Amino acid sequence: MTPHRWVMEEPGTPLVRVEFDLQEPSSNEVIVEVAGCGVCHTDLGFFYGGVRTKHALPLALGHEISGRVVKTGEDAAAWQDKAVIIPAVIPCGSCDLCDRGRGTICRGQKSPGIDMHGGFATHIAVPSAGLCAIDTERLADVGMELADASVIADALTTPYQAILQAELEAGDLAVVIGVGGVGGYAVQISSAKGATVVAIDVDQAKLDQLEGHGASLRINATEVQGRDVRDAIRQFAKDNDLRQTEWKIFECSGTATGQNTAFGLMTYGSCLSVVGFTMDKVEVRLSNLMAFHARALGNWGCLPEHYPDALELVLTGKVSMLPFIERHPLSQINEIFARAHDGQLTRRAILVPDASH
């Protein structure tokens, strides 16, 4: 397979296939042969939404990447031939912030498809620091191929870190707003950790998909709105002997409407996790944080050190991925971007390099 990547030359104009020569990796780098790369709303934001990449164009997008290491620099030799997930946010690993465990705000961090060429390609060069090794036999045991694991980077690990930060515990009531590609995993992970989960979305199909995957109460926000949402959750909590305080709310829709709903559900001791991103502002009574002794937490990606634990949820079958993903040939990237943008995909698309191209 000739090494190539699909690059964005300008937002909105078709992505272009560009061949390149594989370079020798530098001492701490590896070359990964891409097994698959998930299509995230962040990619669509760059392509359709006018969000700017940090690296100049042309640039290959794609930051949810799994694959196999095919070349290593001298200090990364241990990674040769390993199956890996590449973290969506790769901290430098050597600055003061990294030393203090604050790698997600490391100012030298690199994200494939944002700071450097990404995973919509046959190969990618990345630092070895932070790579997450995968046991492909165990992956096969849960019916998954290496390509499928790509989505663990970002779509699964970002809510995973949000859930860690929110200190979610067994017995908690979790509310997930927006249960698409990211929020669906927020539901599953919360449930796996022993919380009872309320899922809220405007799309009934997405809610239905989560039946049997951890969402005990599913609220269609086109039918139930405003105070009625809160009342429905209060009643549900009452019926299920759950607390009326300390709800853990995960805003994953990345919309102003979703954020307003999330803020309005805040109760005494609540933790509101802002997982989805929108440029839109919202008008909120910030002092409610004080009146409710509540907190609002953001998180940027997920520290690589948490990837193995997040992966373990998948390998042990506690989190299901197969019903929520679908593979497509990388050569169809322009069509898949368009379909994802138009909301025609009910599952997260994974682009798999096709041998014939």
Q: For residues 176 and 190, is the Cβ–Cβ distance under 8 A?
A: yes
Q: Which residue, among 229, 278, 282, 222, has the nearest Cα to 252 in the 3D structure?
A: 278
Residue 265 DSSP one-character state: T
Q: Is 170 in the site for a copy of itself (CB under 8 A)?
A: no
Q: Is 275 in the site for a copy of itself (CB under 8 A)?
A: yes
CA distance 247 to 237: 10
* In the complex, minimum distance from the CB of residue 275 to a copy of itself, in angstroms, rounded to a whole number: 7
Figure out which of the listed residues 245, 257, 332, 346 binds a copy of itself, where binding follows CB under 8 A: 245
Structure tokens at 288: 């409610």
Choose between 118 and 258: whose C-beta lies nearer to a copy of itself. 258
- The SS3 call for residue 53 is coil
Q: For residues 148 and 350, is the Cβ–Cβ distance under 8 A?
A: yes
Choose between 41 and 82: whose C-beta lies nearer to a copy of itself. 41
Q: Is 289 in the site for a copy of itself (CB under 8 A)?
A: yes
Figure out which of the listed residues 2, 287, 344, 356 binds a copy of itself, where binding follows CB under 8 A: 287
Q: Is 284 in the site for a copy of itself (CB under 8 A)?
A: yes
Q: Is 264 in the site for a copy of itself (CB under 8 A)?
A: no
Q: For residues 24 and 139, is the Cβ–Cβ distance under 8 A?
A: no
SS3 track for 15-74: CEEEECCCCCCCCCEEEEEEEEEECCHHHHHHHCCCCCCCCCCCEECCCEEEEEEEEECH
Figure out which of the listed residues 300, 326, 341, 345 binds a copy of itself, where binding follows CB under 8 A: 300
Cα 261 to chain centroid distance, Å, stands at: 21
Q: Is 263 in the site for a copy of itself (CB under 8 A)?
A: yes
* In the complex, minimum distance from the CB of residue 257 to a copy of itself, in angstroms, rounded to a whole number: 12
Choose between 120 and 307: whose C-beta lies nearer to a copy of itself. 307
Q: For residues 62 and 336, is the Cβ–Cβ distance under 8 A?
A: no
Q: Is 338 in the site for a copy of itself (CB under 8 A)?
A: no
95-114: contacts with a copy of itself (CB under 8 A): 97, 102, 104-105, 107
Figure out which of the listed residues 58, 269, 306, 338 binds a copy of itself, where binding follows CB under 8 A: 269
Q: Which stretch binds a copy of itself (CB under 8 A): 75-83, 115-123, 138-146, 266-274?
A: 266-274
Helices 157-165 and 307-315 pack at an angle, to 10 degrees, of: 110
Q: Is 294 in the site for a copy of itself (CB under 8 A)?
A: yes
Q: Is 238 in the site for a copy of itself (CB under 8 A)?
A: no
Total residues contacting a copy of itself by CB under 8 A comes to 39
Q: Is 54 in the site for a copy of itself (CB under 8 A)?
A: no
Q: Is 241 in the site for a copy of itself (CB under 8 A)?
A: no
Nearby residues of 174 by Cβ (< 8 Å), 6 or more positions away: 168, 186, 187, 190, 191, 195, 196, 197, 198, 247, 248, 249, 250
Q: Is 290 in the site for a copy of itself (CB under 8 A)?
A: yes
Q: Is 299 in the site for a copy of itself (CB under 8 A)?
A: yes
Q: For residues 270 and 294, is the Cβ–Cβ distance under 8 A?
A: yes
Q: Is 51 in the site for a copy of itself (CB under 8 A)?
A: no
CA distance 263 to 202: 17
CA distance 321 to 95: 35
> Which parts of this chain interact with a copy of itself (CB under 8 A)?
97, 102, 104-105, 107, 245-246, 254, 259, 263, 268-269, 274-300
